[in-house]
Amino acid sequence: YSSTLVTSGTAKGVVVATGTETEIGRINAMMSEVKTITTPLLRQVATFGRWLTVVILSAAAFLVLFGIVIRDYDLIEIFLAAVGLAVAAIPEGLPAIMTITLAIGVQRMAKRNAIIRRLPAVETLGSVTVICSDKTGTLTRNEMTVAQVTLKDDQFQVSGTGYAPEGEVTKDDEPVDLDSHPALRDLLIAGVLCNDSRLREEDGQWVIEGDPTEASLLTLGAKAGFDRASLREEYPRVDAIPFESEHKYMATLHTHEGEGLIFLKGAPERLLKLCEREELDHEEEDQEFDPSYWDDAMEKMAARGMRMLGIAIKRVSADKQSIDHEDIQEGMVFLGFAGLIDPPRDEAIRAVKECQEAGIRVKMITGDHALTARTIGTELGIGDGETSYTGEELESMDEESLDKAVDESDVFARVSPEHKLRIVQGLQDDGLIVAMTGDGVNDAPALKKADIGVAMGIKGTEASKEASEMVLADDNFASIAHAVEEGRTVYANLKKSILFILPTNGGQSLAIIAAVVLGLADMPITPVQILWVNMVTAVTLALALAFEPAEKGVMKRPPRDPNESLLPGFFLWRISFVSVLLLAGTLGFYQWQYAGGEGVDLDVARAIAINTLVMGEVFYLFNSRIMTGSSFTKQILTSNPYAFLSAGTIILLQLLFTYFPLFQEWFGTASMPLAMWIPIVLFGMAVFLIVEGEKAIVRKFFNVEG
């Protein structure tokens, strides 16, 4: 157990294993076997890049052959045209836009308590199909409160909520006299002493140090009048067996009035197997153990959504100075159950429903009793209230059975961190995109294996955070739902950016191809002018799309298919359609003004062509803000001021590009007549209206949404 921090107490350290045989070594081995999964976006971009390379090279080769064979161009001329085509077709600004869009998504998520550690994870959140979440503290408030104590022959209610020691232990609405209930008294004392947590008041609020479940027992004892410090003096601790998930119990050895006492607390089903007798409030001697009574009581408490802790006692010699697991195997006397409630977060209930409406399955993973887990799941809207699997059941399953289990159930109880890894693998084998939460060192392999590992920012270990892609600053499930919404918005904005940028490249490429096909002596735009459009105007305008807010109903849509193409059929149509519009304007205005050398100067004609292309972009930006919906809405005017800011910036840059001497020298342009701005602006307006008409047709006849 290297890397364990000892914060209090005294001990002897014994080396029991080294290297890979240690617990940390075992976890590291599991981590090394888990391969990091590439995000859907990176896979799509890689595929898009390969296809784009093939298309550009093919088009350039065609252009060279056509220019030499059909149009009899000089080799140097046609080579420069092919270079211009390649420059025009490559979306140089797209990587920058994608990175900036993801970064803005990171900033938005941080404001909603979701800290992104790896940039591509922003987009992956938009394609999550299943979320596996811890219960305690994530779906619930993590304010464990003992609400009921069950003994063999009695039940007691406990008032008050949270960790404040305000309330009392009652029976039939009457305060309990502990002198009349010795078994209850023993249980309360055991709960306070077999305990390593602390409870203190700070600025008027009761805060805990240590495990919340243990702290609830301190609060229970305080409500009954027991002070932890005083009990520790009266019952000094001699030795202890700390809690381990393997054994599912904690034990402490104390001395009191000439005898030794072992107090034991832990998972009820574990303690029921260890105990031989039981203590009754109204009997002087311990009685024969009756497991059927306790099984029935446990089911009733679990059905009420209670988490249970079993508590037992054993009297030993006062000379005993140490205990080990062998001391627990016989002679234990069962006292009863403490029934704890941890209310679901109201915002978690809403978030679960929101995720389910978005087509995302939510699975709850907990260490609680199966019936308790199903009851809490029902309150949260997770599962059917009947189906659940325990870690012990998962342990015995083969891969086929496990795949079936993780598909049919949304509730998993008594699950260890090792089981989480198998659950993630089973879900991914079904082709699902999995988000998994965790907070412990042992959770690290499952977090790394998941498509999105989500670590807890408050109670999470550094190992879990290092293995994750996202950290919840508030340990709240609702923050995951918010992050998914932002992830979907980021991906939608990425699609809008692609749908905006690629027609610009398409229009420029088609203009060069058309010039060669028509046999024009001079290209309407030069490579350096193309770079200006690609790197300055297109990027500046597309940047505004990164700030688009979430569209209405974004969490009502099903998760996107992670295997879908970056350019589906509708995108290819829109890109081609707008590319042709920009080609018509760019080449049309160039030919109109230059007229084969008989009109204005070539540099002026090229300035007119570039401004026509850019003005078409400016108006098309407002089409792109809503991919298929109508742009004639109030949302276009009010939801994203950056769109107008970027459009205004580009107009100022184009004025510099056209009229500033230094820019004219750099880019080979000349001042064009001011009157030319009127038809150029009218062309931009025409692009906007034509695309809006195309969107209306698509909505009506092809039912394309997004």
DSSP 435: E
Beta strands per DSSP E along 528-645: none
Q: What is the DSSP string of 211-227?
A: -HHHHHHHHHHHHTT--
* DSSP tally for the chain: helices H, then strands E: 27, 21
The two three-digit tokens of residue 705, written as one number: 């949404």
Residues contacting residue 420 through CB under 8 Å, at least 6 positions apart: 132, 365, 436, 438, 443, 446
Cα distance between the two ends of the chain: 52
Contact 486, 112 (CB under 8 A): yes
Q: Are 623 and 688 in contact (CB under 8 A)?
A: yes
398 is catalytic: no
Structure tokens at 185: 């008294």
Kindly report the number of other CB atoms within 10 A of residue 266's CB atom.
21
* CA-angle at 238, arms to 286 and 14, nearest 5°: 120
Q: Are 154 and 281 in contact (CB under 8 A)?
A: yes
Sign of torsion over alpha carbons 601, 602, 607, 613: positive
Give CA–CA dist 90/99, Å, rounded.
Answer: 17
Contacts of 227 (CB under 8 A, 6+ apart): none
42 close to 120: Cβ distance less than 8 angstroms? yes
DSSP alpha helix (H) spans, 305-416: 325-328, 346-357, 370-380, 391-395, 399-408
The answer to whether 530 and 89 are in contact (CB under 8 A) is: no
Half-sphere exposure of 621 (CA within 13 A, CB side): 29
Distance CA 81, CA 519 (A): 12
Instruction: Tell me how far apart the alpha carbons of residues 519 and 16 are, in angstroms, rounded to a whole number.
Output: 83
Residue of 134, 410, 451, 475 with catalytic role? 134
CB 450 within 8 A of CB 436: yes
Spatial CA neighbour of 545 closest among 512, 498, 611, 476: 498
Which active-site residues does the annotation give?
A: 134
